[in-house]
Amino acid sequence: MTESPSQVLKAQDPLQVVVLVSGTGSLLQNIIDNQDDSYRVIKVVADKPCPGINRAQDAGIDAEVVLLGSDRAQWNKDLVAAVGAADVVVSAGFMKILGPEFLASFEGRTINTHPALLPSFPGAHGVRDALAYGVKVTGSTVHFVDAGVDTGRIIAQRAVEIEAEDDEASLHERIKSVERELIVQVLRAANVQDQQLIIEI
């Protein structure tokens, strides 16, 4: 049985990506700059006004700020509405934990980058913790987001050697360089089958 033209076209449609940001948006900029036929950034959503929103607007990409009020469950629902019909959601320096109301719609399609080789050194200080522990190798991880803190299924990892003269800032910069390459590689390898995000990398 041959595929109809509409089926073939759908298989080749770029992945529709929404990026969540909280800060400068440097990882977002990298994702925007490396768009190709495999994925397109259709929207950027932030939890507060930030330079990441400005980067989206400068690139002609729809952007929205969803402020966190006193009702966190409602904020998660508002975030779902803001994200809309994304194939994949990328948390790129987004500094809020996504709650059950959000994950009910997007678990299995939300991915995050982390500056360590998970499951080692989860949490907000992965670079500092790796240095303090004295490991010789750390790196970058791309993983699915679940209800835990950096506990979702690992998609891809790349190692970064720790040099004797490294401090937190220098090590983090080298990890960020790897992170930028890795997230683009993951997005280019992703596709949606039966409403499930499949990443073969």
The pLDDT tens digits for 114-127 are 999 999 999 999 99
Closest to 142 measured CA to CA, from 98, 103, 175: 175
* Residues found in the chain: 201
The pLDDT tens digits for 76-113 are 999 999 999 999 999 999 999 999 999 999 999 999 99
d(CA 70, CA 188): 38
125 tagged catalytic: no
Which residue ranges in the chain fall short of pLDDT 70? 1-12
Q: Which residues pair with 137 in a beta bridge?
A: 161
Q: Are 181 and 201 in contact (CB under 8 A)?
A: no
d(CA 160, CA 141): 11
Q: Are 86 and 43 in contact (CB under 8 A)?
A: yes
Residue 17 Ramachandran class (φ > 0 left, ψ -120 to 50 alpha, else beta): beta
Q: Spell out the domains of the chain, with CATH numbers in brackets.
A: 5-199 (3.40.50.170)
Catalytic pick among 114, 125, 143, 172: 114
Which pLDDT score is estimated for 200? 87
Q: Are 129 and 121 in contact (CB under 8 A)?
A: yes
Which pLDDT score is estimated for 196? 83
